[in-house]
Structure 1
Amino acid sequence: MQSVQIPLFVPAGTLVIVYLVILISGIHRKRKKRGSPFASDLLRSPGQSLLARIDGFNEEVQVCALVLILYPIMVFAMHVVQTYFMKIPESETRVAVSAAGVLVVISYFLLKLLRLLSKRRIFRLGYQGEVAVGQELNQYMSDGYKVYHDFPADNFNIDHIVVGPSGVLAVETKTRSTGTTKDRRADAVVTYDGRMLHFPKGSDHNTIDQAKRQAEWLSAWLTSAVGEPVDVRAIVAIPGWYVRRTSPDGISVVNPRQFDSLFKHIQPRPLPDKLFQQIAHQIEQKCRDVVPAMPDES
């Protein structure tokens, strides 16, 4: 029985050591402090929280890849060592147990890797969408707008907040892949009826509801923070899609390249200068929480 357990125990122990080394190395990089030339924390970038999730997926993918590569090699190496150096007789049981162990471990980590890659693709798409919307919004800072990204709220994040001549806007990004048929224009058309988004392959009301809830939350938070009523309007931005609106009802839903037209035609809700500065200050205090990362010395 001991000869059967050794080929499995040693590789498994080795993999645990490899995983612990990767884990400790990651913790060390996060905790390692160096003198920073920056006097304060940095503002959050578009998709900051999504990028952190993607980094976490990358670390897990590395662990799975190492297991898939190293585990079969280590099991085979232990089998050879036991046969030729420890003089343990070869048997069908030893081979079967080793093969079964490899098959179970490889199957588990392969399925886990595929799930991780699928999730990472979704998060990358969302991140790229937030960056695209953020870049469009940043252009309006020269027109007197203040733009903030990835605002950390209560257990959720508001993708973008715009404070300016049009008032306070909470922008929710909806990123969705387009179809792959020959008619690319038709594949990239989303219909908005004031309540729901109708994509070629399904409808979505959650995004509209979520944008409204976040705007209401931000309005209540700012009102409490500055001591004056602050109205916040919800906007949904869908990069890469043509928005066909069939009803005047509901919140604004646009392609990010339509921001210019939206800001020109949306009913302005101007803010007194003092209130403008108070709102911007409160939002910036929440968004300026990124600790500058110092690169390791070579």
Structure 2
Amino acid sequence: MKIKSQKHSPLKAKPLRNPGQSLDDQIHNIISEDLASYIACAIFMFPVAIYDWYRWYNPKPINPWLTTITAFIFLTVFVYKWITLRRKIKRLRMARDGEKAVGQYLEGLREKGYKVLHDIVSDSFNIDHIVICTKGIFLIDTKTISKKDKDDQITFDGKTVLINGYKPDRDPVRQVTALSSWLKEKICEITGKEMFIRPVVAFPGWFVKMDLKYQTNVWVLSAKALPRFIEKQPDILESPMVHLITSHLTRYIRTL
């Protein structure tokens, strides 16, 4: 008797992630896990209350007030959670769309042989985008911030990012520098090569003015200007090294 072999996926390796995929996952989790349970409770309690009110007019009525009050408690909790989670989802969607916008600008670089990776997720952080090419290695951290006016702008003096003259709650320069240090160590670990990583903070939809009073390796740019800045850099890596780094890094990312 011939035993059928077990079927398996034709994919030999886990596919790489898309721009903003981790944010999409968070949005899905909020809707499917957090919000769905409150919707289910609210929907469940109202038929119970309606049934009790129906029984109220029977020869042996029961008191419907308990289930009615319970139903309205569930409804109140649901409305509160819905408002709270709606705001959170709105912020996540804006951040996701910003990452996708930056990713779409970077995708145009593939035609010129640049290697582009998106949404590298670790246990405690994620890297939005990495570009590897003969111009070097660029780590891009996307910051999507709402605007009040079309003339709003961001300034960077080499140390501090100001959004309409105010410091953001979290220092984006410190964040992207820490991510770049991690990536530098990881590339050195998996390839044996020590490489310079260019930290980049990208603000989609904003006008960004860099008035560098202080020496820095960090770029703070609008998303639209990012590909142009990369292309203007001199060649510092040869193509075989680009392929080597990309191959090793891609293999590592697939294990995360």
1:195 aligns with 2:164: no
Which residue pairs with 1:270 in the alignment?
A: 236
What do the CA deviations read for 1:132-182 (whole angstroms, capped 9, x no partner)?
A: 000100110111210000112342110000000211110000001111xxx
1:224 maps to a residue whose letter is: E
1:185 aligns with 2:150: yes
Deviation at 1:185, TM superposition (A): 2.9
Which residue pairs with 1:208 in the alignment?
A: 173
Which residue of the other structure, out of 77, 80, 90, is the alignment partner of 2:54?
Answer: 80
Aligned residue runs from structure 1 range 215-234, under 5 A: 215-234=180-199
Separation (CA, whole Å) in 2 of partners of 1:223 and 1:248: 31
1:149 and 1:287 in contact (8 A); partners too:
no
Separation (CA, whole Å) in 2 of partners of 1:65 and 1:281: 46
Separation (CA, whole Å) in 1 of partners of 2:67 and 2:10: 54
Which residue pairs with 2:19 in the alignment?
A: 46
Aligned residue runs from structure 1 range 32-43, under 5 A: 36-43=9-16
Aligned residue runs from structure 1 range 98-137, under 5 A: 98-137=67-106
1:75 maps to a residue whose letter is: A
Separation (CA, whole Å) in 2 of partners of 1:86 and 1:133: 68
Segment of structure 1 superposing worse, 219-228 or 148-157:
148-157
Deviation at 1:265, TM superposition (A): 3.4
1:261 maps to a residue whose letter is: R
Which residue pairs with 2:3 in the alignment?
A: none
1:64 and 1:109 in contact (8 A); partners too:
yes
2:45 and 2:67 in contact (8 A); partners too:
no
Separation (CA, whole Å) in 2 of partners of 1:61 and 1:286: 35
| 2:212 match: secondary structure | coil
Aligned length: 246
| 1:178 match: secondary structure | coil
Deviation at 1:260, TM superposition (A): 3.4
Separation (CA, whole Å) in 1 of partners of 2:189 and 2:39: 49
Which residue pairs with 1:279 in the alignment?
A: 245
1:43 and 1:289 in contact (8 A); partners too:
no
Aligned residue runs from structure 1 range 224-263, under 5 A: 224-249=189-214, 250=216, 251-263=218-230
1:44 and 1:289 in contact (8 A); partners too:
no
Separation (CA, whole Å) in 1 of partners of 2:103 and 2:15: 16
Q: Alignment identity in percent?
A: 26
Distance change >3 Å, CA 62–CA 222, structure 1 → 2: same
Consecutive unaligned residues of structure 2, counting only runs of 5 or more, are: 1-6
1:161 aligns with 2:121: no
Which residue of the other structure, out of 147, 153, 169, is the alignment partner of 2:116?
Answer: 147
Consecutive unaligned residues of structure 1, counting only runs of 5 or more, are: 1-33, 291-298
Deviation at 1:96, TM superposition (A): 4.1
Separation (CA, whole Å) in 1 of partners of 2:101 and 2:251: 24
What do the CA deviations read for 1:13-46 (whole angstroms, capped 9, x no partner)?
A: xxxxxxxxxxxxxxxxxxxxx8645443211100
Separation (CA, whole Å) in 2 of partners of 1:84 and 1:96: 14
Distance change >3 Å, CA 195–CA 260, structure 1 → 2: same
| 2:138 match: secondary structure | strand
